[in-house]
C-alpha cells in the first residue's frame, strides 16, 4: 500500500516538474526568443547617419519616387513573416490614423520590389515622408514582441507630420522582425 502512495506521489511530482519546465520554456520563448535587432547585421545603420543621403538612395528605387503631392506612409512587407500577424492590428490603426491625417498609405511587398531589401533590413517596417518629401521616420513600427501601440515608435511622429521634425531612424531596436537577408543577397 505504501508503494502505491509513493508511486502516485512520484508521478504527481514528475508531472508538476514537467509542467513548470514547459511553462518556463513557453514564457522564455514568447518573451525573448523571437526578439532580434531590427538591423541586426548593421547593413543600413551606416546609411542612416545621413538622412538626406539615405532618403535620396531609397527614393531612387521606390515606385513613388516621382510623387511628391502630400505625405506618404510606406508599409514594407515580405511573405512568410511570422511577425506580420502580431503587428497587423497596430498597422491597421496606423493606416487609419494616417488616412485621417491625409497621409497616403502605400504597401510594398519586398518580393515584388526586391531591390528595396538592400535598404530594408527587416519587416514589418515603415517609411514616413512629409508633404515636402523629407524623411520623417524609417524603421520598425514598434519595439518588443507584440508590436502594439503601447510601444509604438512611429505613432507620435505620424501625429506630428505637419510639424517640422528631424528624421528618426531607430535601427538598434529589439522586437519581432523578419530579416530580409535572403532577399537582399539575391539583389546585390
Phi, psi of 13 (to 5 degrees): -65, -40
Query: Helices marked H in the chain — which ranges?
Result: 2-31, 45-48, 51-59, 83-100, 155-159, 181-185
Whole-model pTM over 0.75: yes
Length, in residues, of the chain: 188
Is a pLDDT exceeding 50 seen at residue 188? Answer: no
**Nearest of 66, 81, 165, 159 to residue 120 by alpha carbon:** 81
CA distance 56 to 51: 8
User: What pLDDT is attached to residue 117?
Assistant: 87
**131-187 tens-digit pLDDT:** 888 899 999 999 987 777 888 999 999 999 988 888 999 999 999 899 998 765 555
**Nearest of 33, 150, 153, 142 to residue 87 by alpha carbon:** 142
CA distance 180 to 123: 7
CA dihedral 108, 114, 119, 121 (to 10 degrees): 80
Does residue 41 contact residue 121 with C-beta atoms inside 8 Å?
yes
- How far separated are the first and last CA of the chain, in Å rounded? 73
**13-70 tens-digit pLDDT:** 888 888 888 887 777 666 655 688 999 888 887 777 777 888 888 778 787 754 567 8
Amino acid at each position: 500500500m505504501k508503494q502505491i502512495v509513493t508511486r502516485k506521489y512520484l508521478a504527481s511530482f514528475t508531472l508538476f516538474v514537467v509542467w513548470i519546465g514547459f511553462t518556463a520554456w513557453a514564457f522564455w520563448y514568447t518573451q525573448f526568443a523571437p526578439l532580434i535587432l531590427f538591423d541586426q547585421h548593421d547593413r543600413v545603420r551606416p546609411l542612416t547617419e545621413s538622412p538626406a543621403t539615405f532618403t535620396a538612395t531609397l527614393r531612387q528605387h521606390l515606385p513613388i519616387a516621382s510623387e511628391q503631392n502630400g505625405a506618404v506612409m510606406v508599409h514594407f512587407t515580405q511573405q512568410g513573416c511570422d511577425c506580420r500577424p502580431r503587428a497587423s492590428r497596430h498597422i491597421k490603426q496606423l493606416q487609419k490614423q494616417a488616412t485621417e491625417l491625409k497621409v497616403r498609405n502605400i504597401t510594398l511587398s519586398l518580393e515584388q520590389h526586391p531591390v528595396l531589401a538592400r535598404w530594408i533590413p527587416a519587416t514589418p517596417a515603415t517609411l514616413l515622408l512629409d508633404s515636402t518629401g523629407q524623411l520623417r521616420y524609417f524603421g520598425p513600427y514598434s519595439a518588443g514582441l507584440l508590436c502594439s501601440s503601447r510601444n509604438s515608435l512611429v505613432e507620435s511622429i505620424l501625429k506630428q507630420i505637419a510639424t517640422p521634425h528631424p528624421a528618426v531612424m531607430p535601427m538598434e531596436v529589439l522586437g519581432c522582425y523578419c530579416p530580409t537577408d535572403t532577399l537582399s543577397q539575391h539583389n546585390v
